[in-house]
Amino acid sequence: MSEKVKKGFKMPTSYTILMLIIAFMAVMTWIIPAGQYQTDDAGNLITGTYEQVAQNPQGIWDVLMAPIRAMLGHEPTKAAIDVSFFILMVGAFLGVVNETGALDVGIASIVKRFKGREKMLIYILMPLFALGGSTYGMGEETMAFYPLLVPVMMAVGFDSITGVAIILLGSQIGCLASTVNPFATGVAADAAGVSVADGMIWRIVFFIVILAMGMFFVAQYAEKVQKDPTKSLVYKQRETDMEHFNVNASQEVNADLTPAQKRVLWVFVFTFILMICSFIPWGDLGISIFEDFNTWLTGLPVIGQIIGSSTSPLGWWYFPEGAMLFAFAGVAVGLVYGMEEERMIKAFMNGAADLLSVALICAIARGIQVIMNDGLITATILHWGEVGLQGLSSQVFIVLTYLFYLPMSFLIPSTSGLASASMGIMAPLGEFVNVPSHLIITAFQAASGVLNLVAPTSGIVMGALALGRIEIGTWYKFVGKLIVGIILASIAILVLATFF
């Protein structure tokens, strides 16, 4: 007689957790009073104008429809389809690139080059992703990098968590310490009526301190795993991960590229450079060269019409243009490699299929906002913060403001959405207790940034974990101590800033 195997608790999948949160928020729409604020011409909420309105509780139908509405768009919640389709095209592009074997050879070359000093990769790559997050809010765009970096980290003796941490922690620590990020600092500064340059020194302090903490934390974990692979939090799935990411093959191949593979890597590198350049808001940084070039090019007789008069300059691109770039680049890779059409299309489709689950999870995560907005409870939660933070000392006010933005960032993971919704209320409150608006913005960014490292409502977090094949419970075990350290360091810096 076979023995009964005891089943311990197993953390639900990301999809189940998100649907449970959607259902919970639907229940809250029956309990939390519905309300709304008046808005100015720019759409910013006006302090002191909150009023309760008729309750609009969300039912079972609304819960089931929330991911669908989130994917397709449901005012005032923005559609997730552009992000999801972008992810699918990244997968399609990588599918064609992987078919050429060029990445396997490239990974083998990196492993060989950094033999004995693998930790240098962490200290080189994390600041690069952090700069992207700090300057232009690099978030969903990072989805393209996980399938590339995770196998590299595994090949040099680390694990999949290390690869995910370099990108997710790096980019979101950058967002936490946004310096000129137009989607966080820019929107918040505009709503608060101050310059983006105000408070820059404190955001730079945040960037240096928190990034140093993050790099040290990841490097220590990676070194521990390299010395003893059983210390990895994902050790039990290591073999299946290595098979999934094709790590064994990448370690065995010769590190010599064929001429066709070299052409593929040139297209590969150029595509990512173009993507990064296209997403940076050059106009907001006072750089107009790309806009001027686009105007000149599209204004040329005949040539301008052939190219297309609706062409967007670099800096104006977003996910639709990014999806177009990767779709075109996938075809270009097949052509420069000399791949047969049928083989190329099959690789293209298989690559897109590999990231379908990631594309879907972004929509499910956004379904939480759909429920909250349709249930009219977002404004009420903001109003509770408005009432609770009045009449405090500068130091207490800034700490409570930071703590207030932690749950708010969980409920509204969009930094631009949260900034637009709250900064018109919070900034004037700060002035009454001698806390400058720029410090309110810094507190908002710091809280939003730390939640965007762990929040299951964030498509960036859930997408990253899905790509790295990491359960959210495992991620919490890994990052828990760092999150506590970041929160304490953030509060200390904010309190210190009130004295200057």
Low-confidence winner among 240-244, 424-428, 450-454 (lowest mean pLDDT)? 424-428
For residue 418, give both structure tokens. 């949260």
What residues make up the domain containing 227?
14-49+59-280+315-497
pLDDT digits (tens, 9 = 90+) for 81-107: 887 888 788 889 988 988 888 877 776
> Residue 249 pLDDT more than 50?
no
For the chain, the domain total comes to 1
pLDDT digits (tens, 9 = 90+) for 393-450: 899 999 999 998 998 888 777 777 678 667 877 887 787 788 999 999 999 999 999 9
DSSP 141-183: GGGGTHHHHHHHHHHTT--HHHHHHHHHHHHHHHHHT-SS-II
Does 120 reside within a domain?
A: yes
Helix (H) or strand (E) holding 482: helix 472-497
Check residue 49 and give its pLDDT: 84
C-alpha 57/C-alpha 38 separation (Å) is 21
Give the pLDDT mean for 336-357.
90
* C-beta separation of 101 from 265 below 8 A: no
Give the pLDDT mean for 131-150.
80
Does 194 reside within a domain?
A: yes
Phi, psi torsion values for 91, nearest 5 degrees: -60, -40
pLDDT digits (tens, 9 = 90+) for 6-43: 555 566 776 787 788 889 989 999 999 999 888 777 66
* C-beta separation of 177 from 211 below 8 A: yes
Does 460 reside within a domain?
A: yes
Name 286's Cβ contacts closer than 8 Å, sequence gap at least 6. Answer: none
> Residue 1 pLDDT more than 60?
no
Does 219 reside within a domain?
A: yes
DSSP-derived 3-state class of residue 210? helix
Provide the 10 A C-beta neighbour count for residue 181.
28
**pLDDT higher at 258 or 115:** 258
pLDDT digits (tens, 9 = 90+) for 144-177: 788 878 988 998 889 999 999 999 999 999 999 9
| Structure confidence at residue 250 as a pLDDT band (50, 70, 90) | very low
C-alpha 93/C-alpha 268 separation (Å) is 9
Give the pLDDT mean for 217-222.
96
C-alpha 443/C-alpha 450 separation (Å) is 11
Does 310 reside within a domain?
A: no
State which amino acid sits at residue 175. Answer: C
Does 269 reside within a domain?
A: yes
Check residue 173 and give its pLDDT: 96
Low-confidence winner among 130-139, 414-423, 460-469 (lowest mean pLDDT)? 414-423
DSSP-derived 3-state class of residue 359? helix
Does 9 reside within a domain?
A: no
* C-beta separation of 171 from 463 below 8 A: no
Check residue 46 and give its pLDDT: 76
| Structure confidence at residue 5 as a pLDDT band (50, 70, 90) | very low
> Residue 3 pLDDT more than 50?
no
Helix H, strand E, coil C: the string for 55-108 is CCCCCHHHHHHHHHHHHHCECCECCCHHHHHHHHHHHHHHHHHHHHCHHHHHHH
Does 1 reside within a domain?
A: no
Phi, psi torsion values for 336, nearest 5 degrees: -70, -25
Q: Which residue has the tokens 């990588």?
A: 94
